Copies of this chain bind each other. A is one copy, B any other.
Amino acid sequence: MQGEIIAVGNELTSGRIINSTSAFAARHLFAAGYEILAMHTIGDAPELIGLALKRAIRRADFVLVTGGLGATDDDLTTEAVALALHRPTIPNLDLLAQIRHHLHSIDAPPMDPLEKLAWLPQGAEALSLGSKMSGYLLIHDQKPIFFLPGIPEQMQILLIDQVIPRLADWNPEPAVLTCQRLYKIFGREEAFINRQIEALALPTEISIGYYPVFPEVHLSLILRAAAGSRPQPVFAAACTAVEQALGHAIYGHDEDSLASVTGQLLQAAQLTVATAESCTGGLIGHLFTQTPGSSSYFLGGVTAYANSMKTEALGVSGELLAKYGAVSAEAATVMATGIRALSSADIGLAVTGIAGPDGGSANKPVGTVFIALAVRGHREVHRYQFLGNRQQIQTITAKTALDLTRKYLLQSKTE
């Protein structure tokens, strides 16, 4: 079954909000075996919504519409459906009772605008009675059309709990088997990776995609095969070839992040890490702690944004700062040993640099960054010259620090 996704909202067509809901829906539908032919974003205009809907119904086997279902005056999706598909809205009495019950409990005026949420196009079935989320299913021209709220948190719950199971009922035997893997690569350029992969001459039925996701490159392998066939051995061989060609430049795959993979290596080695951050302001710690369970290897850190914090908390002396500057190999090294001593972590990881836009000099332009790693009996410090705006320099600095830690752990594992 092939689908289309329509997202509704002026906040999207004016670019105020990035449409993350369509991507979320596409990812989960794709993983469940459905192909998305196209995704459309339409402003809050009933005629345009109606046109897009009719065209999608003609072309696709199912349609998912998000947004424009709320109680505020700019929510016009249901009105558009009524007009375009000739389905007048009628009140769903269960929904209405539920909303009135809720309104009683908050002492609202009679005929509160929230009651609008109970009016659905004729023939629509509410997706989640009893919850506080809008959303309905309409069967039109024998095709399922799902309407979900645009609020990402609500849309995500309804997509996973309602849409995907109901689609599976609709389509009990998927005609297609999908093997897929997304490799995540740090420290190599897209063109270089492309050349390495082309040299492998992988089977042509495997589609290969290259996606620069700053500062990483993601490489996707997808093999779709008829149900009942056995594509797995071909796919596994291709994966092995890719992994051998790119080696440790691949840090992980699919849901992995640099921080989660580094964390797994720390956990496996039973080592702990603590951070001393300057130009990244806490980003490395934030990345580590996005992973549940990170408290077993990430002890914490010091964000030494002001020089006084470098001195007070990390023991970087005033003389050192005067002689070499806060952005120097010397400062980075003392920061790494200092945080290691303060925290009693096995590994001290320190970054200091100039994220810009101001603060650069001829010797140390914006983007100059030093990263140091201190372990018992081992020190390393590296100088980098990163390009980009402030946010990009902070991001690539944090990820380079994680990658240095990862590579140190990989190397010490094999020694």
Contact = CB atoms under 8 A, between A and B. Distances in A.
Interface of A: 9-20, 22-30, 35-44, 48, 52, 70-74, 113-114, 151-153, 182, 190-191, 194, 198, 207-214, 218, 220, 222, 272, 274-275, 277, 279-286, 288-290, 292-295, 298-306, 308-309, 312-313, 342-344, 355-358, 388, 390-392, 394
A313 B342 contact: yes
A300 B278 CA distance: 8
Contacts of A114: 191
B302 A313 contact: yes
> Which of A11, A16, A42, A272 has the most chain B CB within a 10 Å cutoff?
A16
A133 B306 CA distance: 38
A224 B308 CA distance: 51
Contact of A286 (B24, B214, B282, B306): B282
Contacts of A38: 13, 40-43, 48, 52
Given A210-B72, A281-B288, A306 B343 contact: yes
A303 B299 CA distance: 8
A18 B300 CA distance: 31
A14 B277 CA distance: 36
The number of times this chain is found in the oligomer is 2
A286 B394 CA distance: 9
A292 B30 contact: no
Contact of A41 (B39, B48, B301): B39
A310 B305 CA distance: 19
5 contacts: A153-B388, A281-B289, A290-B391, A298-B306, A306-B343
A296 to B, nearest CB: 10
A220 B151 CA distance: 16
A190 B24 contact: no
Contacts of A280: 286, 289
B299 A302 contact: no
Given A214-B152, A358-B292, A26 B22 contact: no
Nearest to A299: B306
Nearest to A42: B38
A17 B23 CA distance: 7
Contacts of A28: 15
A38 B212 CA distance: 26
A208 B274 contact: no
A164 to B, nearest CB: 13
A281 B292 contact: no
A48 B388 CA distance: 35
Contacts of A52: 38
A210 B113 CA distance: 15
A298 B281 CA distance: 9
A16 B211 contact: yes
A213 to B, nearest CB: 7
B36 A39 contact: no
A344 B209 CA distance: 52
B22 A19 contact: yes
A71 B292 contact: no
Contacts of A279: 289
A305 B309 contact: no
Nearest to A289: B281
Contacts of A342: 309, 312-313
Given A208-B73, A289-B394, A309 B23 contact: no
